[in-house]
Amino acid sequence: MIPYYWLAEFGDEFIQQFDPATGVENLFSVVQDRLNELTCIGWYPVTPHMFKLIHIGDPDSPMVISNNDKYITVNVPDGRGCDVRIARRNYLSYGFDLRGVSLRTAFVLGLDGEEYSFMNGDGEVITDTNFNPDLEALIGKV
């Protein structure tokens, strides 16, 4: 389960990762097709209501969502849409004689050439002008 979903604003209109009425997922390509109209974009916490919509028909899915209301957004000046960096940055560790894998995730948002925000599942945020900072302080070390 992912703790945050993306929401993209196009002036008075918005598109979010999961349809608020049905829970059906929109692939990010619908945003990529309209980057020149993008005015604001962010990561927002999945609510219990949204969780239930997403997992209709999947009663065994554990209800694990972020326990915070933290979010990060970035306003997109005209013409800067193509410079948006938004991603789930995943760290997939595997062992050499250490059986098992672990997955940690940071949610990344920002405009190229400016500060980026990196948020963990608990809503803690660090900012950095480097797109590739050492994030162990935020997401932990395996």
Partner 1 sequence: MVATVTVVEATDAGPNWNTITNCRFNTSDEHDPVLTYPIPIPAAGFNYSYWKSVALNLADTFTRINNVRHYCDGAISWGLGTGGAVNRGNTGIADGSYVQSTGTPGTTGTEVVTGHSGIASVSAITSDTSGSPFTVDSANHDSAERTNHIVMQVKVDTDATNGVQTAETFTWIYDEI
Residues that bind partner 1 (CB under 8 A): 2, 6, 25, 27-29, 32, 54, 86-101, 108, 132-136, 141-142
Question: Cβ 131 to partner 1, closest distance in Å?
Answer: 9
Question: Cβ 127 to partner 1, closest distance in Å?
Answer: 16
Question: Cβ 60 to partner 1, closest distance in Å?
Answer: 16
Q: What is the CA radius of gyration of the chain?
A: 16
Bridge-based pairing of strands 101-111 and 13-16 is: unpaired
**Identity of the residue, 14 or 94, whose beta carbon is nearer to partner 1 in the bound complex:** 94
C-alpha span between 70 and 119 (Å, rounded): 9
Place of tokens 């915070």: 68
2: CB partners within 8 A, 6+ apart: 46, 88, 105
**Identity of the residue, 12 or 18, whose beta carbon is nearer to partner 1 in the bound complex:** 18
